[in-house]
Structure 1
Amino acid sequence: MCKIKIKTVLFLTVLEIVLVTTAAFKETCEFDREMEEQCRIHNYKTVKPLLDYFRQVRNELEHKEIKESKSNELNSDLREKHHEIVRIHEKFMKEAALLDEYKNKVLKGEDDLQTCQNKVHKFEPEINSKQNIIVKLKEELADKSSHFENCELQFKNLNSSLIEKDEKIKRFSENIQDITEHQKTLELKLEKSESKLIKQDKDIQLCQSEIDTLNRTSENIREEQKRIELQLKDSQTKLIDKVKENQLCRVEVNTLNKSLPNTIIPSSCSPFGDSPGVHQLNVSGIGLFDVLCDSQLAGPGWIVIQQRVGGHENFNRDWATYRKGFGSLESDFFLGLEKIHRITSLRRHELYIHLVDVDEHVYFFRYDDFKISDEDSGYALSLGKYNGSIIENRLRDYDNIKFSTFDRYNNFFTRLCQNWQRSGWWYHSCIYCNLNAPYGLRLKWHVKKKVQLKEAKMLIRPTEAMKK
């Protein structure tokens, strides 16, 4: 900075001399106008070095200012680095303190470990002696277990017979559902007999536990074995008596079914009028079974044959399950192909399809002559004339198509569509209409565009009910 000030003073001094010299030359030149041109040349030659020097000084001043600004920036960076180094140092000191604390903990843990090792060495002889005792006991148990093999085989046979009896009881309970109050009384008797069988099963389990106890003891083995065999024989005789009692109940139920007149229970929901809910129908070839009647979506008298309202049921079922029907009438269900065939073969029925998408938009499709063929014909679909809330009638492509499942392919599209849709349906196309598709993203219906459904129902009723 001092050098710059000195150069500035020198520059001002020289500039003042130049100005004085220039003024002197001007006075001289006024007397001689002929020398004016020479004066100008002389002035230029005199002032030019000074001007060059002035430019040089100005450039040096600018260069010095740039260097000073850079120096200030470097100083600020150095201060920031210094602060950062201080912070790192403080962090390092904290970590060093933590490291010392961890070292102390490790030393303490080593001391504890050494103490534990001393204790282990102290108890090793006692452990070895106990292991020898355990080995001897295992050998004794192995010898004793050979005496009870025959008894275990008898228990296995008894358990298998109990399983067979349970299966027979389940089939029996399925066959006597949906009957009159007297039949329900018989079901109560069967349930009591089942509870007795369960009690007998518990008794057998107690016998098994007693055998396990005998495996761990060595006193009175033969007498205990005889007592258990007597209990098993007693249980077997009681089971035989209960099975005979169940058979008698079944015969009584079959007799009652034959004695009940078929005209008492209707074959459609029309007689129930505006009383929706679960009712019992009696259809020729099927007998008695429960259905869900609906009188709110499209008037009275509708039978709900398929319903998707929550995704609580798996619709990827085999042919036998679709033939029989599955699900809960209070949630998702499929009534059954054989039931639908028998109902629609009695008289002419109309079909009503009710759909609600995820945006709460409602659609309906109606056909005036719905039926499906028998099992030998693949339960082929027949629709009749169409009437609905939109122009597109995509289900028409499925007319006269046979029903298919993953274990029975009845048309060309079944393998391709079933692997993607994973459900039983009248497959003609995989993308337009399948109300049995997995609940969620795949449950769609083509209405100008594919819409995702959150609710779907298929309902049927006799056509004469619509005329009334």
Structure 2
Amino acid sequence: MQTIKPWIPCASLSSHEEMCHLGHRTKHNMRITLTAFMFVLAVVCVPVFCDQEEPPVLDLGTPPETRSRFALLDDVRLLANGLLQLGQSMRDFVQRTKGQINDIFKRLNIFDRSFYQLSALANEIKEEEEELKKTTVALKANNEEIKGLSEEISSKMDSILQEKSGLQSKVEGLEEKLGQLSLGLMTTAQAAEINSLRNVIHSQEQSIRELLKAMKEQSEQLSLQQMKIKALDEQLTANMLPFFSSEVPTLPPYQTPASPSSTMNLPSDCSELFDRGERASGVYAVKPSSSKPFMAFCDMSGDRGETVIQRRMNGTMNFNQPWERYENGFGDFQGEFWLGLQKIHSLTSQGNFMLHIQLEDWNQNKFFTLYRFYLDGPESNYTIHLMHLSGNLPDPINNPTGMMFSTKDTDYYNQQDFKCAHRLSGGWWLSACGDTNPNGVYFHMRPKGRSECRRGIQWRSSAKACFSVKSTQISISPLMSVGSTFLTAASSDSHVFS
């Protein structure tokens, strides 16, 4: 005998479990209905199928009875009632199934609305955070102005105190003179002089009182501004904590082998590794001529080996880092990373190098541009030198040639007292605020506003255009490995590089 499983209420199950339970109940009801139907057929066994022929019996006393070949009327009625009950059960089952499916769709719609509301709330929190940043910057500027005014008031106060001490000495001298004059006769001229001196002293004292009152008001305003700045800093820190609480990982260091001969055989860059026959892209150890060995990602997909110095693809890494991080490098070689200014300088100091920039926009269009490239050392804050060679990406306005590298805590580009790296995001050679910045904020959809585009990953080609970028890869390779065409173009403008 088959065991019937108990029925569980739909409200206590998830959507998937509810559909499975619905299927089990359907099978169970169908079994019961078919069993009842077979039982009715067994009871109402139609004589035409159930009767068997028997040998005739001679009965002379009673007349022969004619046996009907059709079922009795009660049996037919019983069968009809069973079929009606079966149809009613099936209709009730269909209605219950429709109601359960409608409940499932209602719950899915409620979940979709809740998810949309959470997304909208997250966007509002980000916008409020940006407003708080702007307000904090403005208040800090006001605080600097108030500090300057306070210093001026302090200097004026010192001069007033000096004048007061001088006046007191004069008063003491006058008192001595008055004491001496009191012994003899006082002329009219001496009395007038004494009265004028008294008036001067009275006016000076009045000026001192007014200045002291003004200084007290300024001190109260300074205290109020400092309290506002402190409250905004605390609020900004609390809002930024959930987004930047995790530490940005550093790139894996080079592990020194046991035998010194292994270090001597390391390639100077990825192009030399390519010339040795390596064709698989990945992380390799390199050793430039003027530095220690380090790990680097080599792109071997083209007709030469390129050392990748920057890559962005999905926004998993925060590129708004201080100077020390950009100098030493950060990120993950398997995802997004920045190789480090020290390592880039050690690579380019070996000879003539080419900078290869690859960009992809939000319409899956890919662009590239090639530059002749050299980078100065830390003594000049890693000044960049570029000369455009070719590519289908427009050369941005205000080419950053001759510019020093800037970050949010070390901004070497200051145009009319406006800190570009602090106002925008990430570190780059900022020739003009927001013209080109592959290390800006990564937006997971195409930025809508111009101000948002300026803070993100962009490449400007004109004064008004803002070319938003979805992914980037920046790599370098020796100029000799790209063919004579680029060498000819570079030699014709060799005066650009010092």
In which range does the TM-score fall when normalised by the shorter chain? 0.3 to 0.5
TM-score by length of 2: 0.41
TM-score by length of 1: 0.43
| Higher fraction of helix | 1
